[in-house]
């Protein structure tokens, strides 16, 4: 028995145990160890998919999205944005990248543009969630990623605090587009969530008026009617 204990606590055994603790793959949501090829374990991944009434990669009109804005995916996005849970950045970027992969090569965009935050909001939050997922999308598509093509020139009230009607008024003329970057280009606009569509519509209108040929949208989640 003593020899067994010595063997159990041998330096090699301790090293291997510590190595497994640091190298084993764990789900960022439930923290369970797993061997799934995706970042999520099978249980959490299936939970998101089963909460959806659509395919994993979905498109409605000119809006590509990963899954409906509800359940576990909604919780992940809220925790990421408002509780600074940066551990979800890689996971949610992977979701966005998988949607980008579904876009046919014949209709892929020239420029990928994240919905911008006002500088004061960016300083307060510390990151632009749309910019993070836009990086993975642009990489998958082999498209230009531009932070200068669309800027927010006016501080607005957070959309979540307003009614649908007030959201449209709140965003009127809040964005400016750089014509030299987007003129005659096909644009893919990136945001984390599509709810009423007020932000996306105002951004799209601004881009089209500045000379963009077409604007499509890719988001992580969309509120379904």
Question: What mean pLDDT do residues 18-45 have?
Answer: 73
Confidence of residue 23 (pLDDT cuts 50, 70, 90): low
pLDDT the model gives residue 65: 94
Given a cut of 60, whether residue 64 has pLDDT beyond it is: yes
For 88, 122, 157, 164, 177, the CA distances from 151, given in Å and listed in that order, are 25, 12, 16, 23, 7
The two structure tokens encoding residue 18:
């510590």
Question: What mean pLDDT do residues 107-121 have?
Answer: 93
Per-residue b or e along 26-39, where b marks 16 or more CB atoms closer than 10 Å to that residue's CB: ebbbeeeebeeeeb
Confidence of residue 52 (pLDDT cuts 50, 70, 90): low
Instruction: Find all residues with CB under 8 Å of 188, minimum gap 6, and list them.
Output: 103, 108, 109, 111, 112, 113, 137, 141, 143, 215, 216, 217, 218
In whole numbers, what is the pLDDT of the chain averaged over residues?
Answer: 84
Question: What mean pLDDT do residues 2-20 have?
Answer: 53
Query: Domain extents for the chain?
Result: 54-222
Residue 219: helix, strand or coil by DSSP? strand
Could you count the other beta carbons within 10 Å of the beta carbon of residue 140?
Answer: 18
Question: What mean pLDDT do residues 138-167 have?
Answer: 85
Given a cut of 90, whether residue 27 has pLDDT beyond it is: no
pLDDT the model gives residue 84: 82
Question: What mean pLDDT do residues 36-48 have?
Answer: 80
User: For residues 143 and 184, what is the distance between their CA atoms, to the nearest angstrom?
Assistant: 15
For 25, 217, 220, the CA distances from 190, given in Å and listed in that order, are 29, 6, 9
pTM score, two decimals?
Answer: 0.80
Given a cut of 70, whether residue 8 has pLDDT beyond it is: no
Q: What is the pLDDT of residues 157-185, one digit of tens each?
A: 676 666 777 777 777 888 999 999 999 99
User: For residues 101 and 85, what is the distance between their CA atoms, to the nearest angstrom?
Assistant: 26
Q: What is the pLDDT of residues 75-92, one digit of tens each?
A: 999 999 888 888 889 999
- Using a pLDDT cut of 90, give the percent of the chain over it: 52
9-13, 16-20, 163-167, 216-220: lowest mean pLDDT where?
Answer: 16-20
Is residue 144 within a helix (H) or strand (E), and if so which, with residue range? strand 144-145
User: For residues 116 and 192, what is the distance between their CA atoms, to the nearest angstrom?
Assistant: 11
Q: Which fold does the domain 54-222 belong to in CATH? A: Rossmann fold (3.40.50)
Confidence of residue 54 (pLDDT cuts 50, 70, 90): very low
Question: What mean pLDDT do residues 42-53 have?
Answer: 78
For 103, 211, 214, the CA distances from 183, given in Å and listed in that order, are 22, 4, 10
Given a cut of 70, whether residue 98 has pLDDT beyond it is: yes
User: For residues 120 and 136, what is the distance between their CA atoms, to the nearest angstrom?
Assistant: 25
User: For residues 55 and 132, what is the distance between their CA atoms, to the nearest angstrom?
Assistant: 24
């Amino acid at each position: 028995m003593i020899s067994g204990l010595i063997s159990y606590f041998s330096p090699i055994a301790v090293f291997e145990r510590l190595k497994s603790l640091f190298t084993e793959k764990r789900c960022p949501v439930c923290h369970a160890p797993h061997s799934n090829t995706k970042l999520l374990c099978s249980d959490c991944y299936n939970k998101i998919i089963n909460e959806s009434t659509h395919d994993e990669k979905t498109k409605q009109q000119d809006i590509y999205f990963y899954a409906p804005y509800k359940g576990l995916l909604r919780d992940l996005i809220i925790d990421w944005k408002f509780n600074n849970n940066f551990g979800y950045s890689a996971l949610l970027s992977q979701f966005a990248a998988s949607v980008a992969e579904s876009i046919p090569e014949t209709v892929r965009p020239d420029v990928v543009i994240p919905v911008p935050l006002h500088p004061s909001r960016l300083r307060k939050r510390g990151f632009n969630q749309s910019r993070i997922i836009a990086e993975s999308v642009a990489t998958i598509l082999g498209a230009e990623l531009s932070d200068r093509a669309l800027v927010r020139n006016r501080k607005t009230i957070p959309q979540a605090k307003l009614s649908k009607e007030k959201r449209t008024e709140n965003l009127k003329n809040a964005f400016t587009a750089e014509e030299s970057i987007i003129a005659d280009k096909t644009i893919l606009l990136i945001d984390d969530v599509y709810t009423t569509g007020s932000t996306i519509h105002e951004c799209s209108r601004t881009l089209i008026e500045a000379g963009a040929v077409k604007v499509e949208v890719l988001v992580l989640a969309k509120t379904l009617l």
